[in-house]
Amino acid sequence: MEDQEILTKFRDPASRNVAFNQLVRKYQRKVYWHVRKMVINHDDADDLTQDVFIKVWNHLENFRQDASLYTWIYRIATNECLSLLKSKRRKFLLPLTDLTAELTANLEADESLAGDEIELKLQKAILRLPDKQRLVFNLRYYDEMPYEQMAEVTGTSVGALKASYHHAAKKIEAMINAD
Amino acid sequence: MNTPFSLDEHRRQPRPTLAPPPDRYFEQLPMRVMQRVTAAPTTVPAWGWLAALSVPLRTALASVLVLGGFAASFLVSSPNGSVLPAPGAATLAQIPREELVEYLLATDQRVTLTDLAELPGTASNAPAGTYLQTSPDELQDLLDQQPTANEYL
């Protein structure tokens, strides 16, 4: 089902639930992996994914279609991720390095990375980036999202995003080569 | 010598090689989300608007209510801002002086007329020397005239 059809059906109370169910099925994997890359842990990613779709449900009626539905949902997911990471730091009074250590521990506990030393080093280096820079890196490197779309998701200019990605890539290479 | 790591030369993965979610996770997720969004909307209590206020505003409102409560209770308990006379004193003042004297003399209160005598020009807190115009010898004579303690035995 196309986005426009989903939106039209959502506005009709009779077909609202069916339309929203289709929307969740269409975007759940992208949202889940977008947040999973940021929080690493499945349980946190599961909670966040559900919260994202609850917010989509609550605000979809007022969605003005200035951006595409996909970009709008990505933006909600991004904000939810950054809010969770921020609240975790505030709640546990953890400095940046301690939350990074927690995420790294989650990463090391993940059996999928066992045996792939260079991939584990890459993931650990990514986790040492500041949250917003990590987000930019993930969107560009893994999702291969165009900078213009990234600008809509993050609310940042294309130039700033290009510079941020370039610095992130250099930092990651330096960290891996220093190990 | 090892080749320095370069992101451009690294085999790009479609996503980090993290463990996949549990089996059938994506089949069940839409149903779990739908259960949450279609759950009966919670009824907002009458004081629900309080939750919409910011924390500093709520704190200020609570302080105003507490202070207002104190002020109201003070005004209600003390009309006109005056202190009410003690109930006992008000009742005693209403009894005529003659009735009081008759009562005290008729009952066994060990009160004599001397106790009730008024000493003009004396203040309640004035020293005895200011109104007792008598010499030490006269005082000693008066004391000698009093019966000794043994007479009460």
A12 and A85 part of one domain:
yes
Asked if B30's CB is within 8 angstroms of A17's CB, the reply is no
What residue numbers bound the domain in which A12 lies? 1-93
A101 and A163 part of one domain:
yes
Task: Please tell me the distance from the alpha carbon of residue A159 to that of residue A164, in angstroms, as a whole number.
Answer: 9
Q: Are A106 and A40 in contact (CB under 8 A)?
A: yes
For the whole model, what pTM was predicted?
Answer: 0.62
Q: Are A87 and A131 in contact (CB under 8 A)?
A: no
Asked if A53's CB is within 8 angstroms of B37's CB, the reply is yes
B112 or B9, higher pLDDT: B9
Give the gap in angstroms from C-alpha B35 to the nearest C-alpha of chain A.
Answer: 10
A8 and chain B: CB distance < 8 Å anywhere? Answer: no
Asked if A142's CB is within 8 angstroms of B15's CB, the reply is yes
The verdict on residue B122 lying in a domain is no
A5 and A73 part of one domain:
yes
pLDDT of residue B14: 66
Task: Please tell me the distance from the alpha carbon of residue A42 to that of residue A32, in angstroms, as a whole number.
Answer: 9
Q: Digits of tens for pLDDT over chain A (179 positions)?
A: 788 999 999 999 999 999 999 999 999 999 999 999 899 889 999 999 999 999 999 999 888 877 889 999 999 999 999 999 888 877 666 565 566 777 777 777 766 666 677 888 888 899 889 999 999 999 999 888 999 999 999 999 999 999 999 999 999 999 988 87
A65 and A132 part of one domain:
no
A89 and A99 part of one domain:
no
The residue of B11, B29, B35, B42 whose CB has the most chain A CBs within 10 angstroms, and thus the best one to mutate to test that interface, is: B29
The verdict on residue B135 lying in a domain is no
A15 and A66 part of one domain:
yes
CA distances from A30 to A4, A40, A142, A143, B150 (A): 19, 15, 11, 9, 113
pLDDT of residue B27: 95
Closest to B15 (Cα-Cα) out of A173, A53, A128, A33: A33
Residue type, B12: R
The verdict on residue B43 lying in a domain is no
